[in-house]
Structure 1
Amino acid sequence: MRGTGGEGICGNIRKSLMLVVVGNPNPKLPSQLLLSRGIASKLFVGGLSFYTTEDSLSEAFSQFGQVVGAKIVMDRVSDRSKGFGFVTFASKEEADRAVTEMNGKILNGRTVFVDYAKAKPSFSEALPIARPPPEQLHNK
């Protein structure tokens, strides 16, 4: 949705860039800006140990380039790792190297599987197709 005064996506990107260039003591781009511009590459990491933390995951993958973010997916009920997560790199080249080097390697005592993350389905793809109850189908 658009607001007044240059709001919206372009306004938000412009504000983020101004923050990075002018007033941000940390010169790295915000991860959201990187993702929205298609600069970052997100990897899926499966087979993680329950003892792997987001910090240790980030550290293990940082040898291949700048890690923008590392996220381990947690079970809401047990508050334990589901055994997989995501690592986001600042460039595709760094992500390519990480996939090549880390796929099938041991991390915290477990063999991890690394591949490119698949895009989330859009809202319309995620909704089921509406159909009438079965008895109405047979009565026609």
Structure 2
Amino acid sequence: MAMAALRGVSRCLASRGSAAAARPMLLAHSRGITYKLFIGGLSHFATEDSLAEAFSRYGQVIEATVVTDKVTNRPKGFGFVKFASEEEANNAREEMNGKVLNGRVIYVDIAKAKPDRDADARPIARGPPKPIGND
């Protein structure tokens, strides 16, 4: 039943012409089938488009992001690239690690999951400490 609905949606997208190019990206992204790479050492002139263009020769780039500072809105020097398959991501990692991009040597590795902030949280102080001794 679900596969029939998925086929119907893909036929509908394919019949629209211009939306057909976006179809693989939408389907891969909606299924959660993405492989994320961390890109370090980026130039401060790097853009998401230039990052996507550099990595697109190794496979289907779902998304490319350059992390920026919230206050100054300038790039922090690292970013992420999402690929549609694990094989494409591994190939891009092997080929691009240590290469020069926009005049700087970049470092490429598999992105790690964000640490859970609740696990590392410290207890909140609730007033002055209780005196020790002399009961």
Question: Normalization by structure 1: what TM-score?
Answer: 0.74
Could you tell me which residue of structure 2 aligns to residue 6 of structure 1? none
Return 5+ residue gaps in structure 1 as ranges: 1-12
The match for 1:33 among 10, 30, 33 is 30
Q: Give the distance between the partners of 1:120 and 1:32, measured in 2 at CA.
A: 19
Structure 2 unaligned regions, length at least 5:
14-18
**Conservation of the 8 A alpha-carbon contact between 1:43 and 1:114:** yes
Alpha carbons of structure 1 residues 32 and 125: separation in structure 2 relative to 1, 3 Å:
farther
Are 2:98 and 1:104 aligned? yes
Say yes or no: does 1:87 pair with 2:72.
Answer: no
Q: Percent identity among equivalent residues?
A: 46
Secondary structure (helix, strand or coil) at the match of 2:70 reads: coil
Following superposition, the deviation at residue 77 of structure 1 comes to: 1.1
Change (3 A) 1:84 1:19: farther
**1:116 and 2:110 correspond:** yes
Give the superposition deviation at 1:78. Answer: 1.0
In the TM superposition, what is the alpha-carbon distance from 1:80 to its structure 2 partner? 0.7
Q: How many residues get paired?
A: 123
Give 1 or 2 for the bigger CA radius of gyration: 2
Work out the CA distance in 2 between the residues paired with 1:48 and 1:136: 47
After superposition, the C-alpha distances for 1:64-106 in whole angstroms (9 at most, x for unaligned) are: 1110110000111111100000000000000001110000100
**Alpha-carbon distance, 1:124 to partner:** 3.0
- Paired residues for 1:34-49 under 5 Å: 34=31, 36=32, 39-49=33-43
2:129 paired residue number: 136
Please say if residues 20 and 28 of structure 1, whose CA atoms lie closer than 8 Å, have aligned partners that are also in contact: no
Conserved? CA contact 1:57–1:70, under 8 Å: yes
In the alignment, the residues of structure 1 paired with residue 95 and residue 108 of structure 2 have an alpha-carbon distance, to the nearest angstrom, of: 9
Supply the distance in 1 between the matched residues of 2:123 and 2:104 (Cα, whole angstroms).
43
Report the aligned-residue RMSD: 2.6
CA distance in 1, matches of 2:114, 2:89: 19
The 3 A distance-change label for structure 1 pair 20 and 55 is: farther
Q: TM-score, normalised by structure 2?
A: 0.77
Rounded to whole Å, the distance in 2 between the matches of 1:96 and 1:119 is 17
